[in-house]
Amino acid sequence: MRIKEHPILTFEAKEEIQFYYNGERIVGYRGDTIASALHAAGVKKLSESIHQQRPRGFYCAIGNCASCNMEVNGVPNVRTCITPLEANMDVRQQVGKGRVR
């Protein structure tokens, strides 16, 4: 779901970087946030609500609402909408409030 043509903006070809989503290898671009790379790869559900396990995606994309919290490299509650993507990141849907490994 990347934008290829745009009347105003140009999206130059960027370096591809690999990372892991729930153990599965995914490709994103340098300059992505974790959430934008996941969204481009078709992953909309990022977390589950704590009590009723309802699916959650991002909402604000500016680090304000915690709707995009995931476990990144073993650290829970990372706001993936403002965290730059890095090669080989281990990104996982976290369970409940998350737990530090």
Instruction: Point out which residues bind other proteins (CB under 8 A).
Output: 1-9, 11, 31-33, 36, 39-40, 44-46, 49, 54-65, 75, 81-82, 84
Tokens describing residue 73? 């490299």
Residue 44's binding partner, choosing from ligand FES, other proteins, none, with beta-carbon cut-off 5 to 8 A by kind?
A: other proteins
By beta-carbon proximity to ligand FES, the closer residue of 27 and 62 is 62
| Interface of this chain with ligand FES, residues 55 to 74, rule: CB under 6 A | 58-61, 63-68
d(CA 19, CA 86): 7
Give per-residue burial for 86-97: e unless 16+ CB within 10 Å, then b. Answer: eeebebbbbeee
CA separation for the pair 66, 79 (Å, rounded)? 6
Count of CB atoms within 10 A of residue 73's CB?
A: 13
The partner in contact with residue 45, picked from ligand FES, other proteins, none with C-beta cut-offs of 5 to 8 angstroms by kind, is: other proteins
Residues at the contact surface with ligand FES, assessed by CB under 6 A? 58-61, 63-68, 79, 81
